[in-house]
């Protein structure tokens, strides 16, 4: 049995605890950043408005970095494991290339389905408000191709998936982590149900990659390709004066 095949020392309770903490930190960070932003830009509390998109994106960066530090501390201090070994950061070049291709295919499917089934009211999709201005989009783009793929994959496929896999079949563990992966994104997508389904598709595929490869690297490569293509297409569409839904 290889190190990647050995059960992790933490369980489902620890997996849920970190996931719940991830949601709480996001809410607190968004509230604090919004409050500070409002006080800095308005003279009275009555006039405080929601912060701009790039400010909210920075609160997500803070949340994700906090969770990554927590995972590192738990692995090193509580379980006495090197971070890369504990989080199962492994994968072959061939599998990584395949994962990149899969990410490209999923992002293409995302664009096609978004065009065919756009949100009824884009103003009710919080994500569109977060990337409303060029500055908002630029900050979000950097986050989407750096912190988001590595942070989310280490959390969901590196930390949570192996904990569920100890007690469940592969498919059950994949479906549970997919649901938990899609849940935070539902806040970004609001009433856009098709968007939530497409995010769930990415989580499902990455769960399969995690099971097949025994590591987090392939899911990370897939996630990176997926986010990168969507960000590039959004930037190009705005540069050409197009308005994608």
pLDDT per residue as tens digits for the range 114-171: 889 888 888 788 888 888 889 999 999 999 999 999 999 999 999 999 999 999 999 9
Per-residue pLDDT at 236 exceeds 70: yes
The DSSP 8-state label assigned to residue 160 in this structure reads: I
Please classify residue 49 by burial: count the beta carbons closer than 10 Å to its beta carbon, then call 0-12 exposed, 13-18 middle and 19+ buried: exposed
User: Quick check: is 78 in a domain?
Assistant: yes
- Average pLDDT of every residue of the chain: 88
Residue with tokens 């970095």: 65
The continuous run of DSSP H or E covering 45 comes out as none
- For residue 55, the model assigns a pLDDT of 80
- Cβ(181)–Cβ(190) under 8 Å? no
Residue 2's Cβ-side half-sphere holds a number of Cα atoms within 13 Å equal to 8
Per-residue pLDDT at 2 exceeds 70: no
47 to 27, 31, 54, 57: CA distances (angstroms): 21, 16, 20, 22
User: Quick check: is 1 in a domain?
Assistant: no
pLDDT per residue as tens digits for the range 41-73: 655 555 556 567 888 888 889 899 999 999 999
User: Quick check: is 98 in a domain?
Assistant: yes
Angle at CA 25, nearest 5°, toward 20 and 30?
135
User: Quick check: is 244 in a domain?
Assistant: no
- For residue 99, the model assigns a pLDDT of 95
User: Quick check: is 218 in a domain?
Assistant: yes
Please classify residue 241 by burial: count the beta carbons closer than 10 Å to its beta carbon, then call 0-12 exposed, 13-18 middle and 19+ buried: exposed
Domain that holds residue 32: 6-239
Q: What are phi and psi of 151, to 5 degrees?
A: -65, -45
> In the chain, at which residue ranges do the beta strands (DSSP E only) sit?
none
Where residue 168 falls (left for φ over 0; alpha for ψ -120 to 50; beta otherwise) is beta
User: Quick check: is 27 in a domain?
Assistant: yes
| pLDDT band (50, 70, 90) for residue 93 | confident
Mean pLDDT to the nearest integer, 220-225: 96
| pLDDT band (50, 70, 90) for residue 213 | very high
User: Quick check: is 217 in a domain?
Assistant: yes
Token pair recorded at residue 225:
């390709």
Structural domains counted in the chain: 1
User: Quick check: is 185 in a domain?
Assistant: yes
Least confident of 53-57, 131-135, 206-210, 225-229: 53-57
């Amino acid at each position: 049995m290889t190190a990647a095949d050995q059960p992790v020392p933490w369980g489902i309770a620890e997996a849920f605890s970190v996931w719940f903490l991830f949601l709480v930190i996001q809410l607190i960070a968004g509230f604090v950043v919004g409050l500070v932003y409002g006080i800095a830009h308005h003279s009275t509390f009555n006039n405080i408005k929601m912060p701009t998109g790039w400010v909210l994106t920075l609160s997500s960066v803070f949340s994700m970095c906090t969770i990554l530090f927590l995972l590192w501390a738990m692995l090193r201090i509580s379980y006495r494991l090197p971070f890369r070994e504990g989080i199962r950061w492994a994968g072959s070049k061939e599998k990584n290339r395949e994962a990149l291709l899969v990410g490209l295919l999923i992002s293409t499917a995302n664009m096609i389905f978004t065009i065919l089934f756009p949100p009824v009211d884009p103003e009710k999709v919080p994500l569109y408000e977060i990337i409303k201005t060029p500055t908002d989009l630029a900050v979000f783009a950097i986050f989407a191709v750096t912190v988001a793929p590595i942070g989310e994959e280490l959390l969901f496929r590196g930390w949570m998936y192996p904990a569920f896999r100890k007690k469940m079949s592969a498919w059950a563990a994949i479906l549970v982590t997919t649901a938990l992966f899609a849940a935070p994104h539902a806040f970004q997508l609001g009433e856009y149900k098709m968007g939530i389904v497409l995010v769930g598709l990415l989580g499902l595929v990455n769960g399969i990659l995690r099971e097949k490869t025994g590591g987090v690297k392939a899911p990370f490569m897939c996630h990176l390709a997926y986010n990168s293509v969507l960000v590039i297409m959004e930037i190009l569409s705005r540069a050409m004066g197009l308005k994608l839904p």
